[in-house]
Structure 1
Amino acid sequence: MPSNFTLRAVNTVHRALLRLSFGRLGTEYFGMPALELTTIGRKSGRPRSVMLTAPIVDGDEYIIVASRAGDPANPAWYWNLRDNPAVEVSFRNGPRRPMTAQVLSTEQRAPLWTRIVANYPVYGEYEQRTTREIPLVRLTPASDPG
């Protein structure tokens, strides 16, 4: 499983690629659209950003996978958004937008997981490495306060 150092290094390189190419490179990763997810740290209370892929994009809604490459533990960002679903998302290096995260139930997850694994078999490999059910999270535009 990847170490925390490796995961942070990949995120740092990804952000640098976006910045140095002025957004021309790094908007896709493994054939999937990339997004930057910003959560609020559940312990620190500070913003925490991570680069992720969105294997399913449906208009303004995105499905992200809390795989951590099949590690036995969920990624930190998952725990952050579970405790505080108000997040910000920059899709394909676009402007940051307030969104709401929803961890999908097993029933909601099932048809989407089948679709994700069919299109991106690496997630099936991650699933084989772990005993946990890899969570899926739906990101939707935040409601306008009115």
Structure 2
Amino acid sequence: MTFTHPQGTRGARQPRGPLLAWINRRMAHRIRRRSGRTGAGDTIVLTTLGRRSGEERPVPVASFPVGDGSWYVVASAAGAAKNPAWYLNLAAAPDRATVETGGEKIPVSATELHGDERAEVWRTITATAPGFARYGERTDRELPVIRLTRR
């Protein structure tokens, strides 16, 4: 299935601005230096291509490794009503993203999960990281769950 783009009508304030950009750059640098371990679980640097600019857009995101070498990520935007920009970039170019972890830069393909598959993975994610369940309660949109698979 393809990416969907439903927005919510309520939610937390969308994280953004120069301070967030600075924090993301610092966090990405830290992740690259420490091979993905930031003290709060597995974090990767996901680089997408800007859907309008075509420029690379690196962003640190929490990840949930899968046994086959792929990752799940959640487009939570801290429970905002709108999807994060990186999700929209992935939707526009799902086969042009990379993941940085463990000192490697890995080309990936992105697939959004739907239906029973999404529900099963969502239960696992929220059991592992309860903060995502709280993000889901802040908004009326269904938080997209994306599988990133090595190309």
Normalization by structure 2: what TM-score?
0.82
Pair 1:139 & 2:148 matched: yes
Residue 62 of structure 2 is aligned with which of 53, 62, 67?
A: 53
Instruction: Give unmatched runs, 5+ long, in structure 1.
Output: none
In the alignment, residue 103 of structure 1 is paired with which amino acid?
A: E
Separation in structure 1 between the aligned mates of residue 115 and residue 123 of structure 2, nearest angstrom: 12
Normalization by structure 1: what TM-score?
0.84
2:77 matched to which residue of 1? 68
Question: Which structure has more strand as a fraction of its residues?
Answer: 1
Sequence identity percentage:
34
1:91 matched to which residue of 2? 101
Q: Number of residue pairs matched?
A: 137
Instruction: Give unmatched runs, 5+ long, in structure 2.
Output: 1-12
1:4 matched to which residue of 2? 16
In the alignment, residue 100 of structure 2 is paired with which amino acid?
A: S
SS of alignment partner, residue 114 of structure 1: helix
Deviation at 1:49, TM superposition (A): 0.9
SS of alignment partner, residue 4 of structure 1: coil
